[in-house]
Amino acid sequence: MFQHLTYQKKLKWLSISILPVFFICYQLAIKKTLQEYQTYRRSLGQSAASAISSSLADLTDRKARVLSLYDRFSLDTFATDKNLLSIAGAFCKSNALMLKEYRTVGLQKLDSTRVLTRIMTFEGHFIPGVKFIYDLETKRMAGHVSSVQFAAIEDRQNKSTKMDLTLYIQNLIP
């Protein structure tokens, strides 16, 4: 169709057809891009407001979880269910263990929290010792068992072997 036209006529047709092409491009691409950008800006403002309210809810949930963990490992010697000596004494009576040593190793200050470390040494059989560790870790709230050492000690007088269980238990002091 355009083969019989000269370059001047082709240039006229091109200059006339530029306006509809620009209008079509504006309608199909540029206008829709601007509308999407406005929608994005609107939704960004709304999501920022909802993010603030959801982050506040997340913070209160996180605070509740931290306080429950803090309560689990905090030191409370007045409550008998959290007093380590009363728990150990009751367990030793019912499970044939003997408390040999109970002492405080030290008090360390980490950030704003103080950590009290205590050592308990028991003598007895292996199975009740493992039961006591399990009981402290899962059922009781008397502290965190940070280290455990089992040692077989040979008694030369009786020619028998005894088991010593040493526990390192840490508590948070508010």
In a domain, 79, yes or no: no
Which of 19, 47, 72 is the last residue in one of the domains?
A: 72
d(CA 11, CA 26): 23
Q: Are residues 149 and 98 in the same domain?
A: yes
In a domain, 154, yes or no: yes
Q: How many domains does the chain have?
A: 2
Question: 69-112, pLDDT tens digit by residue?
Answer: 777 666 666 666 778 888 888 899 999 899 999 998 888 887 77
Query: Is the predicted pLDDT of residue 149 greater than 90, yes or no?
Result: yes
pTM exceeds 0.75: no
Which of 46, 72, 98 is the last residue in one of the domains?
A: 72
d(CA 8, CA 129): 103
Residue 170, pLDDT score: 87
Residue 119, pLDDT score: 93
Q: Are residues 101 and 134 in the same domain?
A: yes
In a domain, 77, yes or no: no
Residue 8, pLDDT score: 83
Question: 23-68, pLDDT tens digit by residue?
Answer: 887 777 777 888 888 888 888 777 766 666 667 778 888 888 877 7
Q: Are residues 154 and 116 in the same domain?
A: yes
Which of 39, 72, 105 is the last residue in one of the domains?
A: 72
Q: Domain limits at 38?
A: 1-72
Residue 77, pLDDT score: 64
